[in-house]
A = this chain, B = another copy of it.
Amino acid sequence: MAARGVHLDHGQRRDWLRLIRTENVGPRAFRGLVNRFGGAAAALEALPALARRGGGLIPPRIPTASEAEAEMEALARLGGRFIAIGEPDYPAPLREIDDAPPLLAVRGLPELLNRPVVGIVGSRDASGAGRTMTARLARGLGEAGWVVASGLARGIDTAAHEASLPTGTIAVIAGGHDKPYPRENQPPLERIAEVGAVLTEMPMGWEPRARDFPRRNRLVSGISLGVVVVEAAERSGSLITARLANEQGRLVFAVPGSPLDPRSGGANGLIKQGASLITSADDILEALAPLLGRSIPSALEEREYDTSAIVDPTENTRSRVLSLLGPTPLPVDDIIIMSGASVSDVQILLLELELAGRLERHPGGTVSML
C-alpha cells in the first residue's frame, strides 16, 4: 500500500480541511467539488458562486486558512494528524464507501489503519459472558494479525479495545479528539492513543450529539472487512453498525445467545436475517481469509483537471431539474432520465443546491429539497 496514492502538501491539506469544514459540504459534496474543479483550492474559490446559483441567500461559511491551520495545530498538539483519502495511510476499505470522509483526524499509530481490521461492537449493558466472549474473540483475532476496531463505549466496545490493546486496536469516536465521549473512557482513550489508534472525522472541539453516533458507526464498519456483533438488544446502535456494514458490502457476524436474554435479541435477529453465526475467532478468520489481499481502487485523488471544457448548465436545464425536486426523496438516476439533462449538469445543479443548504441527500442515492 505504501507506494500508491498521493501525498498532499501542507497547503493542499489545509485547503481540504477548509473545504470539508465548510457549511453544507459533506463527503459527497466534497468529492463532487474536487472532481469538478480539480482540487480543493479551486473548489473553495468556486463555492460562493455555486451556492448563490443554488439559491443560497447567505453564502456558506468557509473557514479561513488560519482557522484550518489552528485546527491542524490543535490536533498536532494531541499527537495527531490529518490523513487524506488517497494517501497511503488512509484505510483502504474505507475508500470504498460512498460517503468516505476526505480527511481523517488520527492519533496514535496510523500504520494500524492499513492492517486488516475487524470491527467488534455490542451492548453498553453487556453481561459478563458477553464481555468474556468479546475478549476471547478480540484476542484470537489479534493473535492472527488482525486489528480490532470499536467505538470506545462501555461494555462490549471497552472489552474489545482492552483485549486487543497488545495486538492492535482502533477507537473510532463520534466527537472531536478533544471531546471524547463518554467522559469515563478518557483513560482507555489515552492508552489507545499511545499504543493503538484513535480516529474521527469530526472537528476539534466537536461535542458529539445523538446523530453523530450512527455517522461514526459507518466508519467502524468502513475501516473493517467484517463486523462482529456480540450482544445487542433489538433496536440498538450495534444493529445500525451491522446494517451499515452490510450496505458497505462488509461481512456481518453475530454471536448467538439464549432467546431468554434480551441482550441476545439483536444478534440472534441478525443471524435470522443472514448474518453468519460465529462462536470463535476462527469462524471469523475463516470467513475473512478470502478477502485479504484484494486491491481496492482509490475513490478520489487530488490531481490536475482540465476544467476548461466544463460548461455550466443552461437556465433551461436548471429549471427542468428544479421542477422535478420536492420533499419526497427521488433517485438521482431518475432525475437524470426525467430531466433529459447530462449527468454532469445534474450533478453540479444538485451540488449547488446542497451548498445553498436547500438539498438533502439520503441513503441509496436519493435526494430531496428541504
Contacts and interface: CB of A to CB of B under 8 A. Distances in A.
Contact of A256 (B132, B277, B283): B277
A51 interface: no
Contacts of A279: 259, 265, 268, 272
A268 B107 CA distance: 39
A91 B272 CA distance: 31
A132 to B, nearest CB: 6
A230 to B, nearest CB: 10
Interface string A332-347: 0000000000000000
Nearest to A127: B258
A74 interface: no
A368 interface: no
A133 interface: yes
A73 to B, nearest CB: 48
Contacts of A256: 256-259, 264, 268, 271, 277
Contacts of A257: 256-258
A255 interface: yes
A186 to B, nearest CB: 31
Interface in A252-279: 255-260, 264-265, 268, 271-272, 276-277, 279
A114 B49 CA distance: 78
A235 B255 CA distance: 21
A317 interface: no
Contacts of A280: 259
Interface of A: 129, 132-133, 255-260, 264-265, 268, 271-272, 276-277, 279-280, 283
